[in-house]
């Protein structure tokens, strides 16, 4: 590739270049080429040199210039002049200088840090992956544990990411598209919409379908993945665990198909469990025991070859009869018959039975395949899940029940099976960096090689009285918490003796008023902050609560050394290439906008925390030797990026090399992609730690009036109804939202190309209701209706009567329905689903605090009854 | 061109990458995605149908054009010469596939804000008062590139090549997969084929 002319060369008449960088229209962060002619960006294309997108972009990605050139972007720092805050209250914005803005922000932050740094709450959008590291580092240096990704993780991730982490050492799971023959999707759209490695997965999934992969999509709505499925299985909202458990029952108890060698060697299936539901442990070492069939005696799990471990039976350990975890699981699954599942899910028992049978038989248990000269187990079936199935109070069991299907047939991270995204990497061949591989931890269970969030998913943290406003130090399986914004936050903080209250909010790009739940509740939380700083591209509904708004550079004006790292997040899984691209400015801002990373570094200096910032960068970026940042020395963010690249890829591959070349890549090895076969570690099919954890949490919470229900903390998964599943008179339908293929969060509705496409789409901006249901209710396609909850919350929109949704479902796309003036293209478009959601402990998983995202509603004609 | 409906996932990548390539004004789509349901719950299917100018063998639009602005080139591409077009829109009435657009006045994507720098850089390609449509990205294929919608399709659902060459990928796909055209009964001979979903 030609050297990229410097931005300062614009206007010479010779400015015509393609600049390699990274997209940020969603967190998939595909690699792009930005075409600049005489100082104007005229085209975005995918970068064919990169595995992140492989030279192709989704509809959002090709539309980025309409966001970049949006005249409604914030271009100067703003200060509010109206001290009164509230929804619909004009902040009275006044333009101020950067010096004035930074001076005030730094002064307030410095004072707060001196008092109690925990009083700073930082939240960031999930849309811009590149914001993760600078904000993580800033928060660590400042000394606050209070970070959030607003609705992002709270909606999609506490179940999906936690359990993908515990079971697959990755942020998310995907079928091994190159070899999978039978994939079951539970409320997931991998390869057919937004999400991790979204564009790469579109190509991989299409190729798999063309190759003949059978795709079964379990979903209340036939859209995106379901539309392309070999079979759409409509399901009652929020009941995925019931189907998965019944499928498991068919596989194990009826057909007797499971991968015993895998279960013995790679899971805790052979661990002996006592009547107290806990591991029988070796008195000396404390290690869990297995039954050694050769010696006819209990032995620590690591003292016996896996072939000799019993999976079934009843064995005496110190006079107490114990059973292998697998036997308990097998017996437990007998509770979940296809007929039972039909009553819960509405899926006919015969279909439940057939799906379980097909999955088991297609798994080809016992077979192997040779890939690039390496022999690995061949299990071409995958059961994957994502937000739709795990966004419920039963979040943990819903996701775990689905993943157990993979574990039972041994398809987890094996060829053709259910893959975590890139959990093992042996590094760039010249340097061996970055290096991460899962390993065995306490009780022989897997610790991830790399992770994204506060703490590793395993070992399970020790619950303690909370210091975080999200209470994650008590609810240790939670990653993103509702309690920063919930209606009961003050009550929870009070009961749990939170020793301080948050005072300043540093917001990066989130519109939390729309992205978490109903706006009244979140507005209450926003209004409570004494001072709010918001780094924004646009004035959103949420930035109306800010005291100072700092105008951000967009992705085409920004720099980042790691847009696709960690690889467990948004680099495509499966074989192919490791690929490390950078993001670099393709153009300079047309106003006073500054890059958020530069703003944070500047604030750190003004606050006087440079030494802490450098230290945090060293830890988070794993900088070593000559590339470590020194003491209080001032580095620009660009210099930090340069250090990280050289640290990973050698001194010759610094930022200048990457600016010219865009991406460095090297081939993946089968030993990396199918790492599980080669690494001696186990995952838990029996979550022995859950009842233990519950006891610890309950000991702290229950004396303070917070109930920790036992039912959610059993070692084996169950189906537990959502609040929406309780019969409730006239409220007869289940409203749910889904990700639209042309929209990301609440952000892209302002992009006029995407808005135009969404207006032409039958579903993007409408309320999808089953045509038969609609007819019974006298609804007419296209008319305005109210969707109302029993809590009295309601949203209005145009109904689209369709055959492609479950008769009890009400499907609403994306996070739309803006009402603010700062994003005029977005204003009034689509339906604001989240306004129907309660945000409190009663509507969150009592295990991981994931919000319940389905809600019981009634619908009615809007004409004549509007308010 | 061949569009593989088995691979297409309805992502709007074609419609929007076409916009990105041509910078077409609001309401003008040289490529579009249509969606349609088939069947009744629960045996329902969603059909995603990407459409564009079909560059017909017997183009009705060319036949009715009074000035010769619409013409079919020897390579098969049906194109419009904006200098010759008088904006009578007879071709739009004649095209049975509704793939022609008339720009009555200069339009921009941010109402009340005029043209963005991007729109200024791209507007000269789209004079008002004339009819416009897809030309298979003639400027790209003339330098050996694929049309933008083909090159960008994330699902690799589109193929471009020579239908007259029986050994070309497009000819082979049509033969092997039973490629079909839309409304063959109209006798226009579309040069865009679909492969069944």
The string of pLDDT tens digits covering residues B100-125 is 999 999 999 999 999 999 999 987 77
Cα–Cα distance list, A610 to A117, A306, A631, A640, B140 (Å): 15, 52, 8, 13, 51
Please state the separation of Cα A592 from the chain's center in Å: 33
pLDDT, one tens digit per residue, over A784-838 is: 999 999 999 999 999 999 999 999 999 999 999 999 999 999 999 999 999 999 9
A188 has a pLDDT exceeding 50: yes
* Min Cα–Cα distance to chain B from A132, Å: 27
Matching residue, tokens 């020579």: B162
Q: Do A71 and B110 touch (CB under 8 A)?
A: yes
What is the CATH architecture assignment of A723-861?
Beta Barrel (2.40)
Window 713-752 of A, Cβ < 8 Å to B: 741-742, 752
Q: How far apart are CA A471 and CA A453, in angstroms?
A: 15
Contact B9 A232 (CB under 8 A): no
Binned at pLDDT 50, 70 and 90, residue A867 comes out as very low
A69: its two tokens: 């050139």
Of A43, A58, A763, nearest to B154 by CB-CB distance is A58
Nearest to B13 among A55, A62, A69 (CB): A62
* Chain B contact present for A772, CB below 8 A: yes
Cα-Cα-Cα-Cα dihedral sign, residues A57, A60, A63, A66: negative
- What is the reported pLDDT for A14? 79
Backbone angles phi, psi at A694, to 5 degrees: -60, -40
Put simply, the answer to whether B118 touches A40 (Cβ < 8 Å) is yes
Asked if A69 lies within 8 A of B154 by C-beta distance, the reply is no
Three-class SS state of A46: strand
Q: Residue A107: is its pLDDT beyond 50?
A: yes
Q: Are A313 and A323 contacting, i.e. CB atoms less than 8 angstroms apart? A: yes
Q: Does A699 touch chain B (CB under 8 A)?
A: no
Rounded mean pLDDT of A159-164?
95
Counting one residue from chain A and one from chain B, the pairs whose CB atoms sit within 8 A come to 153
- A760 interaction partners in chain B (CB closer than 8 Å): 32
Residue A337 has pLDDT above 70, yes or no: yes
Task: Give residue A2's pLDDT.
Answer: 46
Task: Label residue A8 by pLDDT band (50, 70, 90).
Answer: very low
**In this structure, what token pair is assigned to residue A376?**
């690995």
Across the interface, whether the CB atoms of A43 and B9 are under 8 A apart is answered: no
Confidence of residue A456 (pLDDT cuts 50, 70, 90): very high
Contact residues, B window 109-138, toward A, CB-based 8 Å cutoff? 109-110, 113, 116-122
How far apart, in whole angstroms, are the C-alpha atoms of residue A125 and residue A407?
Answer: 33
| Residues A26, A561: Cα–Cα separation, whole Å | 18
Considering the domain A160-424+681-691, what is its CATH architecture?
A: 3-Layer(aba) Sandwich (3.40)
Cα separation, A63 vs B152, in Å, equals 12
Asked whether the beta carbons of residue A807 and residue B41 sit closer than 8 angstroms, the reply is yes
Residue A779 has pLDDT above 90, yes or no: yes
Cα(A600)–Cα(A509) distance, rounded to whole angstroms?
Answer: 14
In this structure, what are the phi and psi dihedrals at residue A307, rounded to the nearest 5 degrees? -60, -25
Retrieve residue A367's tokens. Answer: 């077979």
Give the per-residue pLDDT at A199.
Answer: 94
Closest-CA distance, A529 to chain B, in angstroms, reads 34
pLDDT tens track for B79-91: 999 999 999 999 9
Q: Does B169 touch chain A (CB under 8 A)?
A: no
For residue A156, the model assigns a pLDDT of 81
Q: B89-104: per-residue pLDDT in tens?
A: 999 999 999 999 999 9
* Residue to test with chain A: of B6, B13, B153, B156, most A Cβ within 10 A: B13
Answer whether A459's CB lies under 8 Å from A441's CB.
Answer: yes
Cα dihedral sign, A490-A494-A495-A500:
positive
Q: Which of A48, A185, A590, A804 to mutate to test the interface with B (most CBs of B within 10 A)?
A: A804
Selecting from B16, B120, B154 the residue whose C-beta is nearest the C-beta of A757 gives B16
* Every domain range in chain A assigned CATH 3.40.228.10: 160-424+681-691
Closest residue of A to B197, CA-based?
A228
Q: CB distance from A209 to chain B under 8 Å?
A: yes
CB A206 to CB B156 under 8 A? yes
Chain A neighbours among B 88-107 (CB < 8 Å)?
A: none
Phi-psi region of A608 (alpha: psi -120 to 50; beta: other; left: phi over 0): left
CB A277 within 8 A of CB A691: yes
Task: Give the tokens for residue A328.
Answer: 């308990």
Residue A864 has a pLDDT of: 57
- CB spacing of A203 vs B33 below 8 angstroms: no
Q: Position of tokens 């694929």?
A: B146
B 60-89 residues with CB < 8 A to A: none
Q: Tell which residue, A599, A595, A504, has the closest CA to residue A116.
A: A504
Which residue intervals of chain A bear CATH 2.40.40.20? 723-861
Asked whether the predicted pLDDT for residue A636 surpasses 80, the reply is yes
> Hunting for tokens 């009036």 — which residue is that?
A705
- What is the reported pLDDT for A211? 97
Burial label, A667 (beta-carbon count in 10 A; 0-12, 13-18, 19+)? exposed
Which pLDDT band holds residue A568 (cuts at 50, 70, 90)? very high
Among chain B residues, the shortest Cα distance to A59 is held by B13
Is some CB atom of chain A closer than 8 A to the CB atom of B41? yes
pLDDT of residue A866: 42
Q: What is the mean pLDDT of chain A?
A: 96
Local structure of residue A117 (DSSP, 8 states): G
| B4 touches A at CB < 8 Å | yes
> What mean pLDDT do residues A618-628 have?
97
pLDDT digits (tens, 9 = 90+) for A228-278: 999 999 999 999 999 999 999 999 999 999 999 999 999 999 999 999 999
Contact in structure between A844 and A161 (CB atoms under 8 Å): no
pLDDT for A13-27, tens place per residue?
679 999 999 999 999
Residue in B9, B12, B118 closest to A42 by CB: B118
**Packing angle, helices A637-649 and A596-607, rounded to 10:** 110
- Residue to test with chain A: of B2, B11, B15, B37, most A Cβ within 10 A: B11
**Does residue B9 sit at the A interface (CB-CB below 8 Å)?**
yes
pLDDT tens profile A676-730: 999 999 999 999 999 999 999 999 999 999 999 999 999 999 999 999 998 888 9
Tell me the per-residue pLDDT of A298-315, one tens digit each, with 9 for 90 and over.
999 999 999 999 999 999
Domain spans of chain B, in order of start: 2-195
pLDDT tens per residue across span A65-103: 999 999 999 999 999 999 999 998 999 999 999 999 999
Contacts by residues B139-147 (CB-CB < 8 Å, ≥ 24 positions apart): B140/B21, B147/B1
Mutation target for A interface from B41, B151, B159: give the one with most A CBs within 10 A: B41
Nearest CA distance, A210 vs chain B (angstrom): 7
Tokens of A214: 């059978």
Tell me, what's the pLDDT at A193? 78
Nearest CA in chain A to B150: A56
Third-level CATH fold of B2-195: Alpha-Beta Plaits (3.30.70)
Nearest CB neighbour to A58, from listed B13, B117, B120: B13
pTM: 0.97
Residues 6 or more apart whose Cβ sits within 8 Å of residue A252:
A258, A329, A330, A333, A408
CB B86 within 8 A of CB B67: yes
Residue range A722-763, pLDDT digits in tens: 999 988 889 999 999 999 999 999 999 999 999 999 999 999
- Cβ pair A742:B121 closer than 8 A: no
- Is A547 in a helix, a strand, or coil? coil
Q: In this complex, do A203 and B122 lie within 8 Å of one another by their Cβ atoms?
A: no
- Find the closest chain B residue to A212 by CA distance: B6
Which tens digit of pLDDT belongs to each residue from A42-51? 999 999 999 9
ipTM comes to: 0.98
The answer to whether A70 contacts B15, with C-beta atoms less than 8 Å apart, is no
Q: To the nearest whole percent, how much of chain A has pLDDT over 70?
A: 98
A742 to chain B, closest Cα gap in Å: 7
């Amino acid at each position: 590739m030609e050297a990229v002319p410097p931005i300062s060369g614009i206007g010479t008449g010779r400015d015509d270049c393609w600049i390699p960088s990274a997209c940020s229209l969603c967190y998939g962060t595909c690699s792009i080429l930005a075409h600049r002619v005489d100082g104007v960006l005229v085209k975005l294309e995918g970068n064919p040199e990169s595995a992140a997108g492989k030279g192709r972009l989704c509809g959002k990605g090709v539309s980025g210039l309409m966001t970049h050139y949006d005249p409604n972007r914030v271009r100067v720092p703003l200060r509010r002049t109206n001290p009164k805050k509230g929804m619909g209250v004009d902040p009275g914005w006044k333009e101020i200088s950067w010096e004035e803005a930074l001076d005030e922000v730094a002064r307030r932050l410095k004072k707060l840090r001196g008092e109690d740094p925990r009083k700073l709450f930082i939240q960031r959008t999930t849309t811009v992956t590149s914001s993760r590291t600078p904000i993580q580092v800033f928060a660590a240096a400042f000394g606050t544990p209070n970070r959030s990704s607003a609705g992002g993780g709270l909606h999609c991730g506490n179940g999906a990411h936690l359990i993908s982490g515990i079971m697959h050492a990755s942020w998310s799971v995907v079928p091994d598209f190159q070899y999978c023959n039978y994939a079951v999707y539970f409320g997931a759209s991998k390869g057919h919409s937004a999400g991790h490695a979204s564009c790469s997965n579109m190509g991989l999934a299409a190729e798999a379908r063309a190759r003949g992969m059978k795709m079964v999509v379990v979903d209340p709505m036939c859209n995106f993945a379901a539309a392309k499925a070999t079979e759409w299985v409509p399901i009652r909202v929020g009941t995925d665990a019931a189907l998965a458990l019944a499928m498991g029952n068919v596989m194990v108890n009826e057909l007797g198909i499971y991968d015993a060698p895998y279960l013995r060697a790679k899971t805790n299936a052979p661990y002996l469990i006592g009547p107290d539901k806990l591991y029988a442990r070796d008195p000396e070492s404390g290690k869990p025991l297995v039954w050694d069939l050769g010696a006819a005696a209990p032995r620590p799990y690591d003292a016996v070859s896996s072939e000799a471990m019993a999976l079934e039976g009843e064995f005496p350990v110190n006079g107490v009869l114990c059973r292998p975890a697998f036997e308990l699981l097998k017996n437990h699954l007998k509770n979940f018959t296809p007929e039972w599942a039909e009553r819960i899910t509405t899926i006919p028992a015969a279909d439940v039975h057939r799906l379980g049978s097909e999955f088991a038989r297609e798994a080809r248990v016992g077979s192997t395949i040779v890939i690039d000269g390496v022999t690995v187990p061949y299990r071409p079936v995958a059961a994957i899940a994502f937000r739709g199935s795990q966004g419920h109070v039963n979040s943990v069991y819903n996701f775990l029940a689905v993943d157990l299907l993979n574990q039972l047939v041994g398809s987890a991270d094996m060829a053709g099976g259910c893959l975590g995204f890139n959990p093992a990497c042996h590094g760039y061949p010249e340097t061996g960096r970055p290096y991460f591989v899962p390993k065995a931890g306490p009780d022989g269970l897997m610790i991830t090689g790399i992770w994204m969030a506060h703490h590793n998913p395993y070992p399970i943290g020790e619950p303690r009285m909370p210091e975080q406003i999200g209470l994650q130090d008590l609810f240790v399986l939670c990653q993103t918490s509702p309690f920063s914004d919930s209606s009961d936050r003050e009550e929870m903080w009070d009961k749990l003796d939170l020793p301080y209250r948050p005072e300043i909010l540093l917001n990066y790009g989130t519109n939390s008023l729309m992205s978490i739940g109903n706006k009244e509740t979140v507005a209450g939380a926003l209004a409570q902050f004494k001072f709010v700083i918001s780094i924004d591209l646009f004035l959103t509904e949420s930035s109306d609560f800010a005291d100072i708004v700092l105008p951000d550079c967009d992705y085409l004006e920004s720099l980042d050394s790691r847009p696709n790292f960690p690889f467990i997040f948004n680099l495509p899984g499966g074989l192919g290439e490791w690929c490390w691209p950078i993001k670099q400015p393709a153009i300079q801002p047309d106003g006073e906008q500054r890059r958020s990373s530069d703003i944070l570094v500047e604030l750190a200096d003004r606050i006087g925390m440079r030494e802490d910032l450098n230290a945090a960068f060293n830890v988070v970026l794993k900088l070593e030797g000559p590339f470590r940042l020194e003491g209080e020395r001032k580095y620009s963010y660009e210099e930090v990026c340069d250090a990280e690249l050289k640290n990973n890829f050698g001194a010759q591959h610094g930022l200048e090399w990457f600016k010219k070349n865009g991406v460095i890549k090297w081939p993946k090895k089968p030993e990396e992609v199918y790492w599980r076969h080669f690494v001696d570690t186990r995952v838990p099919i029996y979550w022995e730690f859950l009842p233990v954890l519950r006891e610890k949490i309950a000991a702290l919470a229950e004396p303070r009036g917070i109930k920790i229900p036992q039912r959610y903390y059993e070692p084996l998964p169950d189906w537990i109804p959502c609040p929406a599943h309780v019969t409730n008179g006239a409220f007869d339908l289940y409203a749910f939202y889904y990700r639209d293929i042309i929209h990301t969060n609440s952000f892209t509705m302002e992009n006029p190309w995407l808005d135009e496409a969404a207006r032409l789409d039958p579903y993007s901006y409408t309320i999808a209701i089953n045509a038969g249901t609609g007819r019974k209710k006298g609804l007419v396609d296209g008319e305005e209706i109210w969707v109302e909850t029993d809590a009295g919350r309601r949203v209005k929109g145009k109904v689209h009567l369709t055959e492609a949704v479950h008769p009890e479902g009400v499907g609403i796309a994306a996070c739309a329905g803006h009402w603010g003036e700062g994003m005029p293209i977005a204003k009034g478009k689509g339906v604001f689903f989240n306004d129907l959601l309660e945000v409190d402990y009663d509507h969150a998983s009592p295990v991981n605090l994931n919000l319940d995202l389905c809600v019981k509603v009634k619908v009615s004609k809007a004409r004549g009854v509007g308010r | 061109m061949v569009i593989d409906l088995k691979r297409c996932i309805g992502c709007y990548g074609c419609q929007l990458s076409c916009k990105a390539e041509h910078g077409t004004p609001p309401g003008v789509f040289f490529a579009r995605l249509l969606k349609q349901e088939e069947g009744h719950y629960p045996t329902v299917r969603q059909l995603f149908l990407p459409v564009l100018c079909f560059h017909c063998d017997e183009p009705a639009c060319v036949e009715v054009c009074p000035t010769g602005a619409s013409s079919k080139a020897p390579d098969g591409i049906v194109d419009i010469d904006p200098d010759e077009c008088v904006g009578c829109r007879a071709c739009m009435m004649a095209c049975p596939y509704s793939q022609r657009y008339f720009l009555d006045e200069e339009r921009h994507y941010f109402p009340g804000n005029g043209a963005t720098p991007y729109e200024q850089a791209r507007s000269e390609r789209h004079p008002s008062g004339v009819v416009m449509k897809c030309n298979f990205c003639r400027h790209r294929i003339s330098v050996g590139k694929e049309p933008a919608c083909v090159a960008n399709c994330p699902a690799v659902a589109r193929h471009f090549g020579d239908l007259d060459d029986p050994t070309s990928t497009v000819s082979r796909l049509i033969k092997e997969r039973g490629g079909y055209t839309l409304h063959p009964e109209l006798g226009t001979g579309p040069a865009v084929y679909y492969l069944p979903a």
